[in-house]
Structure 1
């Protein structure tokens, strides 16, 4: 190949490299003749190639030694800096304290022109930060990458050791300026924080000099991700390394956007079985406890006895395949000597096997299978352990929508008001004579065979259209209190379908939500798996109690849509089919696609609305870099608490403001009407030329949704305290403090933290 142009880089991949290895071995076998036994070795990415070549070509390779191999491809590799943080936190003392204070002070310095001048002088930044026409987040990330580098290098290679670097870092004592201490361990003559300059340096396609960084950057974009971000909450490095910057490299250098990167990562994991489903045999996997790459290595759950996993205590990246302990024993710990000895013993077994070893193993797992045996023929007990209210007929009522907490919730991703059902259009649409409100006794923990605690779960049913022999429709409740609305309103599509096929209609409230509380503040029993067993128990109970012999179909929208699909997957003997509307069946921590989709909808509706929205948020970012600008933001958007020019703004508080304003678009797009009228109303101020200042237009968008006195929360602590204050009321003992709608926030936040993620970020490059 003549150069490293994009057309030529398509031949650069781990799959091609593995076939190169295989072809090399074949040619050498032909030269040497006879029965040749090959063992492959590698560390880091080459460790992947060693393990994968054994997996793909066991006919050529009898075993592999794979050191510090990141078998799991991952776009947002937050675990790297998490491990670095842990390494220095273990050292503790002044070193870690100074590290935290230094990065925090550097972040604060970026909040004013004077502070940026200070950084320019101290770190000899060239060109000076004051010369940047538009200092971008990519430029800031580039600067912080310089600050991070000595600490990542030490953690990864132990050269110098953590102890030695900390000694250098703190050599001037506790009263020394932490920023100057960071400079002391960053001896670069000059620092170039210009992101565009970095892109230009990697854009050359000729084979001149060291081109390895361009080549490896391409592979991360095209196969692995491995973007080392600080996206892990509170840590020494703060929010200074965004995956966005790495994604932007991929876009500008190779035209690979975040969606393609995600597909590439998924393809790599599927092709090799990733870390947890590696199916090869005769492999030694080793990793060091200090190594940041160990986050992605195979640490447990070998699928065959011939796959040996070894941990090197205090070891760094590939440290076990470096110096031989036999040759230089004084350089090795006893643990390192053991690791190398065990590796040699395994290689000897591969060469002279005592027991036959298959080329690969067939891996079975429980993905898509329920975790507990369930007898669909069990006869439920109707002797309750707790007092269950009598079933009652209820009269349909017109409902009102609460306007409390109407804004989009950054934790739930939903407007709080939409947890309540919409109002019924008229009395004529209400089914009233055949609706029953009832309760079922459920166990607290379906996965504990000795569990004897129970709770009452609320449900409604409507048998107007059905019979004991006919089909049964079950609407599964979700992350909020349920209401008779869903079984009483004949204009609803699923009720019309029930009428068409003669189905009984049921609605089951989700455990913990509404009135279906367990009577505890302990959230460990609030999971989707527990709810799915609630559904199965409910169906079986109704089959016996009401002598229902017809098939069951489950329904749900959003999270309940996922529950509906999963209920059919787990309990096909009970459930004939499922209708899952907008069900997010993929749990995902960094759900960047959400705001990517919002952006796409705005752009498709109106280029002008999109452009001015983009301009508005860009202007907000620019203003947030100056004290005067932050005060202007505070005044214009009625920040609560207000920002003054003297305030130092925490990055989490800044995110809070942006998320509040993003929420204006999120809620509108998520619940847009079929004719797009809600998006049209949203965009109207942005398209109105009378608002010359795009921030005035954005404020008008806010006022249109929230009223003339709309305020913008500017305190992360405010939201956290709001949620924390609910924790002691989850059991429902005092509804005067928080009603069921409000408690939904803490409950769903728990579920996202414990199971799903679904965190709507802007980690998708320029947008």
Structure 2
């Protein structure tokens, strides 16, 4: 959620968020961080980027630490967002720490698979712990109450920071946090079906029809010229491998996945593009008879998304994708976060949004297609992946979190809520389930047209923070 989330596979996969000008207002600062927190014999260090705002800080106030995620840390967050409103009310100092291996926080010379061994949620939590300790000492903030904030993967980190380092962090707001690791995550697309249906019951049925027609046509090379034109492909479809076909189908489905995930979220301040394309817009295109059959409408959605993101043509060559994802340079096409995040899914989380459930609209990108990428990109086998995911849940506890003063907000439209905490675990580990909102909605700046339950959720979280500050 910080900067560009890599948790989806739409057209914006390698699209860097327009870096807006907030960077000038908040000076980049650099923290000397350890490369390997779990090996006392390794003294290598690197520079981790962070931002500070003391605009609302009152002596004796709490310290808010926003956790960076799987993309560049966006300094716009030092000025906007619900946490800033809370900071203003509670007199908090605000810090944002960029996640190792993302943005400008480069612990190693490149992104070789050997170097990516230093990329993990555990190392990231140890980064947070060391940062919290040193900054507290330097700024005299050791006995202040520290509160961790994060959305999406950083939401999980916020919860886990409180879980694993309770002596360093007093409370956490873990928004849209997928705390349960899972290799195969077909529930994601099941929620996409329900979220499309909540707009219009016919909508996901039409998407399924369109997807089915396309899958049929891909079996017949005589349709390739038309498909090339319909979807504005960069090169003529030919000798399609199974991986090419899966990559193509996943890319098209990715449009719907991304729009559903961020539906109506107030993301403009981050420099996000395409916020005006909502579930309503996609479903209205899918039900527009004047465009032709469902297949033609599906193609129209793809062209609309390409226009929105200024993509001239669609490159659906899987081998090109492999070349981009295996480029280990910091200047490579996937160094914005794609190579790093997929590594984290292969080595820790899974989260593969496969078409392996009948209760969803898409076909053609099964788990096997996703798992093969782990082997191709990082030489991680299916067995290693399964083992790693089990290990993650063993280490953090999955859904079974034992801690206190962590709140778990989630939105019903957001497909990630399926791996999150949507019911209170205990009075001290409350869930806030917001009907009709998407990914991280409660973190974004408030606006007039917000659903009343979204405004109530923000207020409820504030009341919890107020209570927790007194404990």
Question: Equivalent residue of 2:178, what SS?
Answer: coil
Note the alpha carbon deviations across 1:23-51, whole angstroms, 9 max, x for none: 11101110122511100000000000000
Residues 1:350 and 2:468 aligned together: yes
Structure 2: distance between partners of 1:125 and 1:244: 25
Q: 2:456 aligns with which of 338, 342, 345?
A: 338
Is the CA contact 2:185–2:352 (under 8 Å) kept in the aligned structure 1?
yes
Distance 1:236 1:8 in 2: 38
2:392 to 264, 268, 272: 268
Once residues 96 and 82 of structure 1 are traced to their aligned partners in structure 2, the CA distance between those partners, rounded to angstroms, is 10
What is the aligned counterpart of 1:306 among 428, 434, 442? 428
2:163 is matched with which residue?
A: 55
Structure 1 residue 256 corresponds to structure 2 residue 256: no
In structure 2, the residue matched to 1:219 is 344
Q: Hey, what's the Cα distance between the residues in 1 that align with 2:431 and 2:346?
A: 29
SS in 2 for 1:61: coil
CA–CA distance in structure 2, aligned partners of residues 343 and 74 of structure 1: 28
| Displacement after TM superposition at 1:93 (Å) | 4.9
3-state SS of 2:251 partner: helix
The answer to whether the 8 Å contact 2:423/2:432 transfers is no
- Checking the alignment, whether the CA contact within 8 Å between 1:109 and 1:118 is kept in structure 2 is no
Q: Following superposition of structure 1 onto structure 2, how do residues 129-528 of structure 1 map, counting pairs within 5 Å?
A: 129-130=237-238, 132=239, 135-158=240-263, 159=275, 160-173=277-290, 176-187=292-303, 188=306, 189-208=312-331, 210-237=335-362, 239-275=363-399, 277-300=400-423, 302=425, 304-324=426-446, 328=447, 330-353=448-471
TM-superposed deviation, 1:163: 1.4
Asked if structure 2 preserves the Cα contact closer than 8 Å seen for 1:143 and 1:191, the reply is no
Q: Deviations over 1:133-179 (max 9, x none)?
A: xx322111111112212211111000422112212333444x71222
Q: Deviations over 1:474-522 (max 9, x none)?
A: xxxxxxxxxxxxxxxxxxxxxxxxxxxxxxxxxxxxxxxxxxxxxxxxx
Q: CA deviation at 1:301?
A: 5.2
Which whole-Å CA distance do the structure 2 matches of 1:229 and 1:123 have between them?
Answer: 22
Taking a change above 3 Å as real, the CA distance of residues 234 and 57 of structure 1, as seen in their structure-2 partners, is closer
- Bigger relative contact order, structure 1 or 2, given CA contacts below 8 A and separation 6+? 2
Query: In structure 2, how many angstroms separate the alpha carbons of the residues matched to 1:52 and 1:93?
Result: 38
* SS across alignment from 1:219: helix
Task: Decide which moves more: 290-299 or 24-33.
Answer: 24-33
The corresponding residue for 1:16 is 123
The structural deviation recorded for 1:55 is: 0.3
State the SS of the aligned residue for 1:199: helix
1:118 and 2:237 aligned: no
CA shift, 1:305, in A, is 1.6
2-side partners of 1:320 and 1:234: how far apart?
28
Cα distance in 2 for partners of 1:180, 1:86 equals: 23
Task: Report the 3-state secondary structure (helix = DSSP H, G, I; strand = E; otherwise coil) of the residue aligned with 1:100.
Answer: helix
**1:664-707 CA deviation, whole Å, 9 max, x = no partner?**
xxxxxxxxxxxxxxxxxxxxxxxxxxxxxxxxxxxxxxxxxxxx
Corresponding residue SS for 1:336: helix
Alignment check: 8 A CA contact 2:424 2:430 kept: no
Structure 1: runs of 5 or more not aligned: 354-767
CA RMSD of aligned residues (A): 1.6
CA deviations on 1:80-126 (whole Å, 9 max, x unpaired) are 11110111123335533421221111011012111233212221334
Residue pair 1:71, 1:297 contacting (<8 A) in 2 also: yes
Structure 2 residue matching 1:186: 3-state secondary structure: helix
How many angstroms apart in 2 are the aligned matches of 1:66 and 1:234?
A: 29
CA deviations over 1:426-460 (Å, ceiling 9, x no partner): xxxxxxxxxxxxxxxxxxxxxxxxxxxxxxxxxxx
CA contact (8 A) 2:348 2:385 kept: yes
Q: What is the alpha-carbon distance in structure 2 between the residues aligned to residue 153 and residue 296 of structure 1?
A: 17
Q: TM-score, normalised by structure 1?
A: 0.43
Instruction: Give how far 1:234 is off.
Output: 4.6
What is the CA–CA distance in structure 2 between the aligned matches of 1:331 and 1:53, rounded to whole Å? 34
Structure 1: distance between partners of 2:378 and 2:352: 16
User: Any conservation in 2 of the 1:225–1:261 contact (CA below 8 Å)?
Assistant: yes
Q: Whole-Å Cα distance in 2 between the matches of residues 32 and 141 of structure 1? A: 52
- Aligned equivalents of 1:335, 1:26: Cα separation in 2: 37
| Corresponding residue to 1:32 among 123, 127, 139 | 139
Q: TM-score if structure 2 supplies the norm length?
A: 0.70
Using the alignment, how far apart are the partners of 2:261 and 2:214 within structure 1? 24
Matched residue pairs, number?
Answer: 342
Q: What does the per-residue CA deviation read over 1:582-641, in whole Å, with 9 as the maximum and x for residues that have no partner?
A: xxxxxxxxxxxxxxxxxxxxxxxxxxxxxxxxxxxxxxxxxxxxxxxxxxxxxxxxxxxx
CA contact (8 A) 2:354 2:365 kept: yes
Q: Could you say if the C-alpha distance between residues 297 and 234 of structure 1 is closer, same or farther in structure 2, counting changes exceeding 3 Å?
A: closer
Q: Distance in 1 between matches of 2:163 and 2:194?
A: 33
Task: Please tell me whether Structure 1 or Structure 2 has the larger radius of gyration of its CA atoms.
Answer: 1
- The residue correspondences of 1:673-688 to structure 2 (distance < 5 A) are none
CA distance in 2, matches of 1:162, 1:124: 23
C-alpha distance in 1, partners of 2:372/2:339? 14
State the 4+ residue runs in structure 1 displaced beyond 6 angstroms: none
In structure 2, C-alpha distance between the alignment counterparts of 1:136 and 1:114, rounded to whole Å = 16
Q: 1:320 to 1:148 in 2, by over 3 A?
A: same
Residue of structure 1 equivalent to 2:101: none
**Deviation by residue 1:286-314 (Cα, 9 ceiling, x = unmatched):** 10000011110012250x32111011110
- Return the offset for 1:341: 1.0
Task: Give the counterpart of 1:3 among 87, 107, 110.
Answer: 110
Report if the CA contact (8 A) 1:82-1:230 is conserved: no
Q: Aligned partners of 1:24 and 1:231: how far apart in 2?
A: 41
